[in-house]
Amino acid sequence: MFLTISTTGSAAGPATDLGFLLHKHPDKAQVFSTSYGDAHVFYPEAEAERCTAALLLEVDPPALVRRGRGKSRGGAPDAALAQYVNDRPYAASSLLAVALRTVFASAMRGDCRALPERAAAPLPLRIEVPALPARGGPALVARLFEPLGWQVTAEPVQLDGQFPEWGDSRYVRLVLEGELRLSDALRHLYVLLPVLDDAKHYWVSADEVDKLLRFGEGWLAGHPEQQLITRRYLARRWSLTREANERLELVRLADADDVEVEEIDNAVEAEQPEGEQERPTPLAVQRREAILAGLRAAGAARVLDLGCGQGQLVAALLKEPRFTEVVGVDVSVRALEMAARRLHTDRMGERQSARLTLLQGSLAYTDKRLKGYDAAVLSEVVEHLDPPRLPALEHAVFGAARPRTVIVTTPNVEYNVRWETLPAGHRRHADHRFEWTRQEFRDWAQAVADRYGYSVEFLPVGPDDPEVGPPTQLAHFTGGGTEEKKTHGKNGPNDTNDRKKEDAA
Amino acid sequence: MTGNDPDGITAAPRTLAVTDLSLVVLIGATGSGKSTFAARHFARTEVLSSDFCRGLVSDDENDQSASRDAFDVLHYIAGKRLAAGRRTVVDATSVQPEARRQLVNLAREHDVLPIAIVLDVPEQVCAERNAARPDRASLPLHVIQRHQRELRRSLRGLEREGFRKVHILRGTAEIDAAEIVTERRYNDLRHLTGPFDIIGDVHGCSSELESLLAKLGYDDGRHPAGRTAVFVGDLVDRGPDSPGVLRRVMDMVEAGTALCVSGNHENKLSRHLRGRRVQLTHGLAETVEQLAREDEHDPEFRGRTATFVRDLISHYVLDGGRLVVCHAGLPEKYHGRTSGRVRSHAMYGDTTGETDEFGLPVRYPWAEDYRGAAAVVYGHTPVPATSWINNTLCLDTGAVFGGRLTALRWPEREIVDVPAERVWYEPVRPLVSEAPGGREGRPLDLDDVAGRRIVETALMGRLAVREQNAAAALEVMSRFAVDPRLLAYLPPTMAPCATSTEDGYLEHPAEAFASYRADGVRQVVCEEKHMGSRAVALVCRDEAAAAERFGAGAGVTGTLHTRTGRPFFDDAGVTEAVLDRVRSAVAAAGLWEELDTDWLLLDAELLPWSLKASGLLRKQYAAVGAAAGAAFPPAVAALEAAAARGADVGELLARQHERAADAQAFTEAYRRYCWTTDGLDGVHLAPFQLLAARDRNLAGELPQDRQLALIDRLVDADVSGLLRTTRRLVVDTGDEASVAAGTDWWLALTAAGGEGMVVKPLAAQARDGDGRLVQPGVKCRGREYLRIIYGAEYTRPGHLARLRQRALGHKRSLALREYALGMEALDRVAAGAPLWRVHEAVFAVLALESEPVDPRL
């Protein structure tokens, strides 16, 4: 965890003035204590022509862990293994930014009683950060620093020379060169190092917004990447919320399997800070409209949204009084938490909340709670299941729950060629286990309908391309057991008519 | 049933029969002595008094305005008791029909008998008693008079109201002299332990019945070993000789060598014989005709038959509650219960109300939902072959339709059958291909896994799974795991050995040997720990075996999954290729025959680690190495330059050199577990335990040396180069030289870049001197390997001192609990238990894996 700041000078304005500007004497090596370990400042060179100050933060890994430790049983350290083996001791992350501010606070403010005019003037600066974690790669590094007047050299660092096939790491060797005021340079680093790191942090303070405004003063407002900088800088707070969400159970299961938690806990799209919720795509709106139309036409009042995710459809259903009971089911506890937050269940009136139920459930199992509803919606759900596990879903929905109406939507893979942003052969979502052609979907739906005594119709959702069909395909199943049961009427085995049939065995 | 001592002067003792599971309603005016009566005859907790409930909800036992809430509470508690199968006595006046109606309904809802006991006491006595109680002294006389009036009006109608027993006690003398006798329910034959031979639907196939009885060892209706035959009903109709069957069964029942429950055909025959109008369909006509012929030479027979079929019980609970026999199947909540709907379900089953294309009722597949501990053996639905589904078995193999007549030996669970001599009756529809629910009893129900659960294990008794852990497991199991039918086992976690105080070491085998020695375990085996990814392989002999035993789909011969049940390879073709190589080795080693199985479950490590963990390696481990590699050289150079200028950075520089060396050691540590593979070239599977095969929990029964000997044969027989051996050394913990050899072995292993070793008791399921289960194994990880776990610099004295404070208790407890659950899963899968039973234990292991434990252990 290391960086150097160099400047050049002349007899008139010696480079060693850097020592005054930084308030650190070039001939001394000094130590400062920070929350995460000792920060050392020393000068590998200090000549009139050229002077370099180096900042080395010796991160104390146990301190990291201690600071990050949540409330857990018996005080045992409890989080992902990742927390113990990580790059924080080596990479120039937000910890280094904190050290910068601790060690060079006055310089960052531009205070220099000895040489006020030099502090106020641009210097020829060269800043080297040998291991800078940069999500977004060298290109983003350039986009962030160049508008500020830096000449940027960012070389990617290879992951492991022995395994060239692994490619580059997320670190770059950064060199910034330019004529800037030292205080500006330090403030750029203070804000942009964590922004590039964009990692989950183990710490956060309540005044992040203030800090951003203070250290971004004079340069952030006009920065072309202002939005990205702001979002990432403040996203840290959000990440903390995520950890506070206590989905540690999933973290542990991921750990047990040597996979990253994102691979397992991916039921909800990457989280966005409040106020920046996803803008619904036109297709999602059209899909919702098609589903609502289908439910209205079926006269459904009590509706299951199976795989409700963050509750977008549930919200739409609640807006229509005809849907007297809406049950959102998802297997992801996080998705349900998001849905509850989005629907503001904590502030919902009694009448409204009586219409709504959110349940953790799984379509890999039959579930008694799902019996007896008018309709069930499986919107963009089936493609998230491995094909060998589809029969269990079919049985749970069409065989056991048996609503009168079932509406299934799924992507039409043929349409993928029309998505300009989707590389050929790619699926629309990383967790899609398959995407069906129109024929495949029809074959599946028809077979399910035949097996479970439903009839099925198909509808396009979105523009129905003459060649490749619509982006989303919808199957509307009608049938189910409850209706039939009613028409047959069964008043218990004492009914003589019934007994005739039962005697048949 | 009614008392006949109106004056209550004489005190002849009355015995009142009260069924052991029933709702007893005491009926009497205020002051009639109900509470005293209840206290004398019933346990304190059996009695629910309305006064007490009034007190609960209003702080005043006499507050009549609280009656409504008080009765809500009373009914609620009574409901809970009845649902749990506990007799309940309601102590309230219950003189009004409406009050009693609610109680009768409550009894029916829980399928228990409602019983009325009336205390008919003169008004005067009631008044005197109330006057003696300060809280009731002010009760107006007209209240008692009203109660008496209502009581009198009720007396005659009680049976019509639904009370199955009515005892009326008149006068204080009769009340005082009354005695309660607890009666068993008719269906409760738990005290009979057999052994039994349960026989399926006979339908008048007298000759086949005689053959079957002979094959079962009966001689003229009597078994020399004293076994009891149990008929599941449907003795009559359709077949050639219903009277012959009836005579045989009635003789046996009368002689006490058989039991018989009522089938729907007996029920209909009974109605016919009692003169009800019944359609002579579904084979009844044949019986009627045969009975008419019988009248000629045995005029008594018809009457005897009528009594027999009328008195048949609809189901029996036998053998300490382990066995339930009825005609059409019975859900657990109805076992041992007594109500019209229980009887109806037992005889007719539950239909969905629909009819199929042959006009026959569609049956509700109750067995799919069945989760009871008792085996339910039944008939009613003809199936081509018997098979256990969720601990239920249908014995109707369509003898009359030309199938077989089948019996089950209990408790042996052996099937004995004889073929039909011919098709006696053409079936309306072909025999359904499978019993309800399919042979494996699919599907699983959410109630099998969700929420807080207790799983019963043979090794550690009842183990709890907490709700939030089950929720996480549900998510992973549903979204990522392989088909639960193929998921027979998840490996338990393993604790490390106790923390070492040896200089420079956090883990050292000396601790492992010492702790087993302390537990009294002498023989342990040290097994090399392969640094790969855990993989469990289910290998079937062929596709047919996989389909037959595990319900696998086409082209599937087993599975290869990770420790959380995820498929190891995304590509099913690669999985099959691996399975194929293992299968060849199993065949070449002759293990299919030797273990008499057509499937085998193996615990293994799949190498290299980089194959599965490449994402983690790149993002986590290699990244750390890359960052260190990029940061240290310039930092060290800068420090050297500063030192050259005379700055006091000597110590700092030395430290950076050390840190750089540690980081380099870290990189080298993970690199040992990475290599490039191409297809299956470079991929190795190192099996270290045979888990289970048909009828055998191999992990639970074979000691480690025999395990490894079998595995060595597999490895030797493998020509593909896939399988890798597991090096091992047996150590005697009581022998210093042997322990030293073990330590040296570990030092050599880890010095050569090995991950470390696992120390296990040689015997399977080892216990300590007190009979407690010991850790089934502990791991001793190598000093260098631990850098990957604890960080590059963990070996520095300051860090080590901190790390040595690690707490192992929870990890050790978790390891034992998961081990017990894993063994339970293996026991169950080996025994062919229903899918939900296996899945329950497997799911619990996954849930426990999400418990909060230091992930570095």
Partner residue facing A173 (CB), from B348, B630, B642? B630
Find out whether B533 and B681 touch, Cβ atoms under 8 Å.
Answer: no
Split at pLDDT 50, 70, 90, the class of B842 is very high
Shared domain check, A237 and A289? no
- Alpha-carbon span A374 to A482, nearest angstrom: 9
Split at pLDDT 50, 70, 90, the class of A75 is very low
Distance of CA A30 to CAs A37, A39, B216, B401, B652, Å? 14, 8, 96, 98, 11
Tokens 């849907």 map to which residue? Answer: A323
pLDDT at residue B806 is higher than 90: no
Shared domain check, A361 and A214? no
Q: Is residue B320 part of a domain?
A: yes
Residue-level pLDDT at B359? 67
Give me the domain span that covers residue B215: 188-419
Convert the pLDDT of each residue in A313-353 to its tens digit: 999 999 999 999 999 999 998 899 889 988 988 888 888 88
Split at pLDDT 50, 70, 90, the class of B64 is confident
Q: Is A76 exposed, middle or buried (0-12, 13-18, 19+ CB in 10 A)?
A: middle
* Residue A426 region by backbone torsions, left for phi larger than 0, else alpha for psi between -120 and 50, else beta: beta
Shared domain check, A216 and A348? no
User: ipTM of the predicted structure?
Assistant: 0.82
B855/A252 touch (CB, cutoff 8 Å), yes or no: yes
* Residue A196 region by backbone torsions, left for phi larger than 0, else alpha for psi between -120 and 50, else beta: alpha
Q: Is residue B478 part of a domain?
A: yes
Tokens 């920070």 map to which residue? Answer: A34
Find out whether B788 and B564 touch, Cβ atoms under 8 Å.
Answer: no
B856/A81 touch (CB, cutoff 8 Å), yes or no: yes
Domain boundary among B671, B688, B721: B671
Nearest residue of chain A to residue B801 (CA atoms): A62
Question: Greater confidence, A233 or B124?
Answer: B124
Q: Is A282 exposed, middle or buried (0-12, 13-18, 19+ CB in 10 A)?
A: exposed
Residue-level pLDDT at B357? 64
Residue-level pLDDT at B77? 97
Question: Which positions ≥6 away from A297 have C-beta within 8 Å?
Answer: none
Shared domain check, B479 and B407? no
Residues of A (283-322) whose Cβ lies below 8 Å from B: none
Partner residue facing B446 (CB), from A29, A42, A366? A366
Q: Is residue A503 part of a domain?
A: no
Convert the pLDDT of each residue in A143-200 to its tens digit: 999 999 999 999 999 999 999 989 999 999 999 999 999 999 999 999 999 889 876 4
Residue-level pLDDT at A60? 75
Shared domain check, A305 and A159? no
Q: Is residue A44 part of a domain?
A: yes
* Closest approach of A97 to chain B, Cα-based (Å): 16
- Alpha-carbon span A231 to B726, nearest angstrom: 52
CA torsion sign, A221 to A227 to A228 to A234? positive
Shared domain check, B173 and B208? no
Mutate to test the interface with A, among B279, B446, B839 (most CBs of A within 10 A): B446
Residue-level pLDDT at B462? 87
Task: From chain A, pick out residues whose CB is under 8 angstroms from the CB of B607.
Answer: none
**The tokens of A420 are what?**
């300009």
b/e for B574-583, b at 16 or more Cβ within 10 A?
bbbbbbebbb
Shared domain check, B341 and B253? yes
pLDDT at residue B303 is higher than 60: yes
Shared domain check, A293 and A218? no
**Residue B189, strand partner residues:** B318
H or E element in which residue A406 lies: strand A405-411
Q: Is residue A255 part of a domain?
A: no
Count of C-beta atoms within a 10 Å radius of residue B376: 24
pLDDT at residue B566 is higher than 90: yes
Residue-level pLDDT at A199? 65
Residue-level pLDDT at B593? 96
Shared domain check, B179 and B31? yes
Shared domain check, B461 and B386? no
Question: Which positions ≥6 away from B105 have C-beta within 8 Å?
Answer: none
Shared domain check, A300 and A219? no
Split at pLDDT 50, 70, 90, the class of B827 is very high
Task: From chain B, pick out residues whose CB is under 8 angstroms from the CB of A253.
Answer: 472-473, 476, 564, 846, 849-850
Share of chain B above pLDDT 70, in %: 96
- Alpha-carbon span B474 to A249, nearest angstrom: 11
H or E element in which residue B25 lies: strand B22-27
Residue-level pLDDT at A83? 59
B493/A256 touch (CB, cutoff 8 Å), yes or no: yes
- Alpha-carbon span B491 to B482, nearest angstrom: 15
Per-residue pLDDT averaged across A374-388, rounded? 94
Shared domain check, B241 and B176? no
- Alpha-carbon span B176 to B184, nearest angstrom: 24
Q: HSE-up of B219 (CA within 13 Å, CB side)? A: 4
Domain boundary among B183, B210, B234: B183
Q: Is residue A202 part of a domain?
A: yes
Question: Greater confidence, A292 or B448?
Answer: A292
Question: Which positions ≥6 away from A426 have C-beta within 8 Å?
Answer: A416
Shared domain check, B93 and B37? yes
Q: Is residue B119 part of a domain?
A: yes
Task: From chain A, pick out residues whose CB is under 8 angstroms from the CB of B483.
Answer: 388-389, 392
Q: Is residue B525 part of a domain?
A: no
Shared domain check, A427 and A337? yes
B567/A28 touch (CB, cutoff 8 Å), yes or no: no
Q: What is the β-pairing status of strands B453-457 and B495-496?
A: unpaired
pLDDT at residue A492 is higher than 80: no
Shared domain check, A289 and A176? no
Residues of A (183-242) whose Cβ lies below 8 Å from B: none
Task: From chain A, pick out residues whose CB is under 8 angstroms from the CB of B281.
Answer: 500, 503-504
Q: How many residues does chain A have?
A: 505
* Closest approach of A121 to chain B, Cα-based (Å): 27
Residue-level pLDDT at B10? 52
**The tokens of B188 are what?**
């409760």
Shared domain check, A75 and A134? yes
Shared domain check, B399 and B370? yes
CATH number of the domain bearing residue B162: 3.40.50.300
Q: Is residue A261 part of a domain?
A: no
Shared domain check, A235 and A295? no
Convert the pLDDT of each residue in B636-687 to its tens digit: 999 999 999 998 999 999 999 999 999 999 999 999 889 888 889 999 999 9
Q: Is residue A268 part of a domain?
A: no
Mutate to test the interface with B, among A42, A93, A172, A329 (most CBs of B within 10 A): A42
Split at pLDDT 50, 70, 90, the class of A232 is confident
H or E element in which residue A96 lies: helix A94-103
CATH number of the domain bearing residue A484: 3.40.50.150
Residues of A (25-44) whose Cβ lies below 8 Å from B: 27-29, 40, 42-44
pLDDT at residue A412 is higher than 50: yes
Q: Among A395, A107, A129, which Cα is nearest to B437's?
A: A395
Give me the domain span that covers residue A234: 2-244
Convert the pLDDT of each residue in A116-150 to its tens digit: 888 889 999 999 999 999 988 999 999 999 999 99
Shared domain check, A205 and A144? yes
Share of chain A above pLDDT 90, in %: 51
Number of structural domains (chain B) is 4
Q: Is residue B826 part of a domain?
A: yes
Q: Is residue B734 part of a domain?
A: no
A159/B471 touch (CB, cutoff 8 Å), yes or no: no
CATH number of the domain bearing residue B348: 3.60.21.10
Mutate to test the interface with B, among A50, A69, A168, A259 (most CBs of B within 10 A): A259
Share of chain A above pLDDT 70, in %: 83
Nearest residue of chain B to residue A432 (CA atoms): B479
Shared domain check, B209 and B168? no
pLDDT at residue A203 is higher than 70: no
pLDDT at residue B436 is higher than 50: no
Q: Is residue A190 part of a domain?
A: yes
A256/B616 touch (CB, cutoff 8 Å), yes or no: no
Split at pLDDT 50, 70, 90, the class of A472 is very high
Residue-level pLDDT at B87? 96
pLDDT at residue A486 is higher than 90: no
Pick the most confident of B139-148, B774-783, B832-841: B774-783
Convert the pLDDT of each residue in B174-202 to its tens digit: 999 999 999 999 999 999 998 999 999 99
Q: Is residue A252 part of a domain?
A: no
Residue-level pLDDT at B432? 53
Shared domain check, B620 and B477? no
Lowest average pLDDT, out of B59-63, B263-267, B595-599, goes to B59-63
Task: From chain A, pick out residues whose CB is under 8 angstroms from the CB of B562.
Answer: 257
Shared domain check, A387 and A302? yes
- Alpha-carbon span A245 to B364, nearest angstrom: 42
Shared domain check, B210 and B165? no
Split at pLDDT 50, 70, 90, the class of B355 is low
Q: Which long-range contacts (CB under 8 A, 24 or more apart) does A357-360 make?
A: A357/A325, A357/A326, A357/A327, A357/A328, A358/A308, A358/A311, A358/A314, A358/A327, A358/A328, A358/A329, A358/A330, A359/A327, A359/A328, A359/A329, A360/A329, A360/A330, A360/A331, A360/A332, A360/A333, A360/A336, A360/B450, A360/B471, A360/B474
Convert the pLDDT of each residue in B360-404 to its tens digit: 666 777 887 888 889 999 999 888 878 788 889 999 999 999 999
CATH number of the domain bearing residue A131: 3.30.1610.20
Shared domain check, B457 and B384? no
Q: How many residues does chain B have?
A: 857
**The tokens of B525 are what?**
């085996």
Number of structural domains (chain A) is 2
